[in-house]
Amino acid sequence: MKSEPTSAACIVAAPDLDIEPEMVQLAAGSSLRILRRCLDAADLLAVASVEPGTPVVLSAGLPRLTSEVVATLQQSGRTIIGLAHDPADHERLRVLGVTFALVARTPEVVLKQLVTALLSPAVSERKDWETGAWSEPDQVVTPPDRLLTKLKSPVDGRMLALWGPSGAPGRTTTALAVARLVAAAGKSVCVIDADTSGPALTIMCGVVEDASGVVVACRYAENGTLHTESLLSVVRTVVTGIGIIGGVSHPDRWEELHPHSLRHVLQLCRKTFDYTCVDIGAGVNANSAHQEIFGQQRFSAAAVALEESDAVLAVGIASPLGLSRLLQALSSLSAVAGKEVAIAIRPQDADLGKEALATLRAYGCHQELIAMPRISTHDVVSEKGLRRQRGLFKRRDDDLSALEAWALRCHYGEGRTTMSVPT
């Protein structure tokens, strides 16, 4: 019969708590071994890299502690226990991703609780909180009234990822077209530029930003200060019902979109807006299974967007080169996305659209195929196109009806987002 462990070891990172020095002294004569004491998050990550699997005890006031640090520590299933001095500390730990915390009352009490928690085999599965004398209800942030709609919609909004192969197939233009069509139905829409290779959303919309909107939002998420108000502060309104969040200022800054933080941003966008369109680049591969403790995959932003989205719209150009690139990359997209994908084809010539659809069917594409009209960037983002709400989008001609029907079907979650096409 296997005996139960009688001692436990951990890494302590709580330099801001007054009880920390005395707790460390008391641990010397107890069944708890404190392997290292860390002064900030960087020190903690360094120690964690050489002590794999060792539980971590940290405080909310640990310098440089972010949600990305917590997510990195949790990658290998490591147990993390928070120490909170007051309700504000509890809330910060919760936002940062720490799911189990103790009230930092006295050194003796905390030490006893730590030993009990670390020796419990189910501690890593516990999702409750040791709240002590605090019983305040969780604060619920209510979105502003202007974001609500009169039409029936799901509790949380829908999210669409727009992808396309290399060669500028028109992802951003299509994303704005979808946003325009959905907004015309009375929905609030947010378009996010998560393309870390060639961000172009703010430039196309003529919006000047002092700082990248998506980077600022991710920093809010890392610091535990991302909420509805802070998210809306980085959204730039381009027309009634449509807001945009600009991408990274340069492709070299792709590392600033940390996966855990971006996921938090996308999840809050889903709760805040009726419909969210995420513009991602051509690269989608992100093998997190081989990710090191300090590592981050090049196209992790696209991978997160694909995981969080309800549907994926692949955008291609109706040309021999455009279709070739689309077909070559489509299998990789389907493998990473894990969901069915619809295909929108943008013709370079009025007669090429239907020929391109026939070509895709001949090659065995089973995805839903959507033929788009010849919409240029000027049609979408110019004064005549986007800001004055007239032209193609106001007429809603037959060429746009298929795209509009697909986008609204994705929003309401009615029926399939793709259909089999006979070959």
Integer CA distances (angstroms), 394 to 142, 215, 384, 390, in order: 32, 34, 11, 5
**Dist CA 351 CA 374 (whole Å):** 10
Most distant CA atoms of the chain, gap in Å: 83
The residue among 275, 304, 308, 277 whose CA lies nearest residue 288 is: 304
The residue among 174, 152, 177, 140 whose CA lies nearest residue 271 is: 140
* Residue 340 burial (C-beta neighbours within 10 Å; 0-12, 13-18, 19+): middle
Q: Is 95 helix (H, G, I), strand (E, B) or coil?
A: helix
Q: Is 189 helix (H, G, I), strand (E, B) or coil?
A: strand
The residue among 269, 188, 189 whose CA lies nearest residue 221 is: 269
Q: pLDDT tens-digit profile of 291-339?
A: 444 567 888 899 999 999 988 999 988 888 888 888 888 877 877 776 7
The CATH code of domain 145-412 reads: 3.40.50.300
How high is the mean pLDDT of the chain? 79
Amino acid at the residue 313: L
The dihedrals phi and psi of 306, each to the nearest 5 degrees, come to: -65, -40
Q: pLDDT tens-digit profile of 370-381?
A: 877 777 666 666
List residues bridging with 8 in a β-sheet. Answer: 32
The number of beta carbons lying within 10 Å of the beta carbon of residue 61 is 16
Listed by start position, the domains of the chain span: 8-125, 145-412
User: Residue 386: what pLDDT?
Assistant: 45
List residues bridging with 313 in a β-sheet. Answer: 162, 342
Q: Which residues of 305-330 are buried (b: 16+ CB within 10 A; e: fewer)?
A: bbbbbbbbbbbbbbbeebbebbbebb
Residue in this structure with the two tokens 């084809």, named with its chain if needed: 345
For the chain, 423 residues long, give each residue's pLDDT as a single digit of tens: 455 567 889 999 999 999 999 999 999 888 999 999 999 999 999 999 999 889 999 999 999 898 889 988 988 789 999 999 888 888 889 888 898 899 988 999 999 999 988 887 555 444 444 444 443 434 333 333 332 233 334 457 889 999 989 888 889 989 998 888 888 888 899 999 999 988 989 988 888 888 899 999 999 988 888 889 999 999 998 888 899 999 999 989 998 898 888 999 999 999 999 999 999 988 886 554 444 445 678 888 999 999 999 889 999 888 888 888 888 888 778 777 767 788 888 877 656 667 777 788 777 777 888 877 777 666 666 555 444 434 445 444 445 677 777 777 776 664 344 333 333
The dihedrals phi and psi of 258, each to the nearest 5 degrees, come to: -65, 135
DSSP code of residue 2? P
* Residue 341 burial (C-beta neighbours within 10 Å; 0-12, 13-18, 19+): buried
**Dist CA 337 CA 332 (whole Å):** 9
- Identical fold for domains 8-125 and 145-412, yes or no, is yes
User: Residue 129: what pLDDT?
Assistant: 46
User: Residue 290: what pLDDT?
Assistant: 41
User: Residue 411: what pLDDT?
Assistant: 63
Q: pLDDT tens-digit profile of 135-190?
A: 343 433 333 333 223 333 445 788 999 998 988 888 998 999 888 888 888 889 99
Looking at domain 8-125, its CATH class is alpha beta
